[in-house]
Amino acid sequence: MLDIVVNSLYTNKDVFLRELISNASDALDKIRFLSVTKPEMLGDTPDLEMKIEYDPDQRTLTIRDTGVGMTKEDLIANLGTVARSGTTNFVKALGEGAADVSMIGMFGVGFYSTFLVADKVTVASKNNDDDVQHIWESLNGEASFHVGPDPRGNTLGRGTEITLHLKEDADEYLGPRKLKEMVRHYSEFVTHPVYLREIKKIKVPVEREEEDEDEFDAEDIEGEESKEEKAPEMEEVTTFEYEHINTDPAIWARDKEEITDEEYQEFWKVVSKGDSSGDAEEWVHFNAEGNINFKSILYLPSEVPFALQQGRPDEVRPGLRLYVRKVLISDEFDLMPRYLGFIKGVVDSDDLPLNVNRETLQESKIIKIIKKKLVRKTIDLIQAELDADGNVIFKEDKPKAVHPYITWYKKFGLSLKMGCLDDSANKDKLQKLLRFKSSKTEGDDDYVSLQEYVDRMPEWQKEIYVFPGESMKQLKESSFMDAFYDRDVEVLFLTDSIDEYYVQQVREFGGKKYRDITKEGVKFSDEDEDLAKRRNKVYTDKFKPLTKYLKKLFGGDVTKVTISKRLGKAPAIVSASEWGNSANMDRIMRAQAFAHGVAPGENMMPTGNLELNPRHPFVIKLLESLPEDEDAEVPSSVKDSAWILFDTATMSGGFPIRDPKKYAARMTRVLKSNLEVDSLTLADEIDPPEEFDMPDMADFDMADLEDLDM
């Protein structure tokens, strides 16, 4: 299993140093945090730092920190079991093609990346809770490890020392240039200093022992002044110098005017921890001042976090690190609501107590204030590419063919809709960020905002028309759309599973209520109101015998039968009641039932309203086919036609047919009548003639064919 992990990371061997620096930084943060309330824990090792040393002769690379250290039990628990759950999850993800090198830290196996460059790894560690310094050792490829007291004794005082015995192909890590480059890349924003011990060769004068004065004779003394002074003899010696690599302060503490985009993107890689691929889309760096003061950098990712891509929203890790005076308090605390869980960054506050714990954080008034400000800043960040009306503003450095916001929204729009459900305080702001497909949008990248929709509404339109469904093609071709096409009225298409929950809960935008066109109650105010009332009364009275008969015929399969003026070319359609589930919601609920192993029963079958088009020939013919006497028997052909009309209207409305077997039987009877088939008895089997064997063409002689008289 270790070989699988190592081989999966082979393309980026440098990752091992990132993991070791990250682990050392965590250990230093822990002891610093503990020492705030218990200064004596620093003991004789007050300096919190990391040191990196290389030894070309021994082919070793050593990373040492003065962090919290590990006890023997910690060494066994943290390093002793390669096949722990994190490794297993990583291997599983590899098999599914869902993991790459940037994700290694997500599975808790980052330490084992050391075997990319090392044949043997030795870890010495000393913790304040353990009187003995212990050493852990393992060889690459072996499933076993060794742990025990360090024979050197307590050389660390406190902390951890990791020694890598490098492979033959890892020479580049035995010199300062590559190590400096890697340390600056991975630890530029680490709070604690990182020192690199550099080996230097210098020349110094040779020190010789002074000769005994008695050995000098007079001639030597007399001639000394006449001799020229000789250059001192030099020798080469090895010296060690420690260079402080990460001299820059924490990036969030710096003046944002002095920070380049490249530096912000590098810090993005640090805070995203492999949760997202690609660069940051946008970011905001600010100092919040007032009753509560804090510094923060918030990042908007350009790609959806891996856990969301794989349909595991509960596994999306909190994206903000909480610091108090640069002391890491938590990187697992939810400073953002669930719908903004993709936001990454840091928050550093001087107003929180250093000894705060997660339980205290949850109820902290300061944290609640910080959360509100962070949410507001994030919404403003998303709004930054939009103008006050919610229309896209193009940036000069981005292609104008595709709206930059649309590219981002197609990946994160579901999260914003979730925010409209969960965050009532910011609902109005979030709605301005939403984008929808509609009956008037064209192409994959053409969307409409709610404000644009309202601005395009005809003067008589008082509601926002929405149409929930499974696909754009289905919605565009639906009979529900006929009347809207005829009137050139725009309809928003809702194809996300969350959309219907959104419109049901939010209910309106800018004072305009949402109206689901698949439900009863859709009315148009583009014609004279008095004329419409009089005409509707005439139609209702005229078709009353038909509506009454159909309600009796269909019984509990239909809620009511009405005459409708909103149908275009369709003879009829089944709509949902105003407060009932739409066909789309019924589909979602049935799918959820199947997903939980429950087969939807008869009681889950919806009943809708049958709306008839009084101008359609089918409907008029059905009315004419009814006997004048209500008690007279209705011909079976009329009944079949009525049922087929109802079943067709049910399917047009998006609902499932209640009894497919009966539907098939009725269709068979109609076909029999239309095709004038006397009987459905099957014809006798055909008795085929006997086949004769064709001669093999290989047996023919072409010369014989030439003799034939054609």
Residue 465 near residue 484, CB atoms below 8 Å: yes
> Any known ligand binding at 652?
no
Which has the closest alpha carbon to 73: 112, 114, 125?
A: 125
CA-to-CA distance for 423 and 543, rounded, in angstroms? 49
Residue 111 near residue 5, CB atoms below 8 Å: no
CA distances from 111 to 30, 87, 267, 688 (A): 18, 11, 22, 77
> Any known ligand binding at 70?
yes
Please give the radius of gyration of the chain, using alpha carbons only, rounded to the nearest integer: 40
> Any known ligand binding at 169?
no
Neighbours of 212 (CB within 10 A): 7
- What is the SS3 assignment for 581-619? CCHHHHHHHHHHHHHCCCCCCHHHCCCEEEEECCCCHHH
CA-to-CA distance for 190 and 25, rounded, in angstroms? 7
Residue 348 near residue 250, CB atoms below 8 Å: yes
> Any known ligand binding at 12?
no
Which has the closest alpha carbon to 580: 653, 483, 492, 484?
A: 653
Residue 104 near residue 110, CB atoms below 8 Å: yes
Residue 451 near residue 431, CB atoms below 8 Å: no
Amino acid letter at 410? K
> Any known ligand binding at 559?
no
Which has the closest alpha carbon to 75: 123, 19, 111, 21?
A: 123
> Any known ligand binding at 160?
yes
User: 291 is written with which tokens?
Assistant: 């009753």
Would strands 194-205 and 50-55 be described as parallel, antiparallel, or unpaired? parallel
Which has the closest alpha carbon to 116: 185, 15, 1?
A: 15
Amino acid letter at 494? L
CA distances from 469 to 450, 466, 498, 520, 586 (A): 19, 10, 11, 16, 11
CA dihedral for 297, 299, 305, 307, sign (positive or negative): positive
Residue 575 near residue 569, CB atoms below 8 Å: no
CA-to-CA distance for 566 and 331, rounded, in angstroms? 56
> Any known ligand binding at 358?
yes
Residue 443 near residue 456, CB atoms below 8 Å: no
CA-to-CA distance for 598 and 46, rounded, in angstroms? 63
In DSSP terms, 164 is beta-bridged to 61, 121
**Residue 90 phi, psi dihedral angles, 5° rounding:** -65, -45
Q: Is 519 helix (H, G, I), strand (E, B) or coil?
A: strand
Count helices and strands in the chain by DSSP H and E runs: 23, 22
Q: Is 381 helix (H, G, I), strand (E, B) or coil?
A: helix
Amino acid letter at 105? G
Which has the closest alpha carbon to 637: 648, 625, 647, 629?
A: 625
CA-to-CA distance for 322 and 29, rounded, in angstroms? 12
Annotated binding-site ranges for ATP: 19, 23, 65, 70, 78, 85-86, 160, 358
Annotated binding site: 19, 23, 65, 70, 78, 85-86, 160, 358
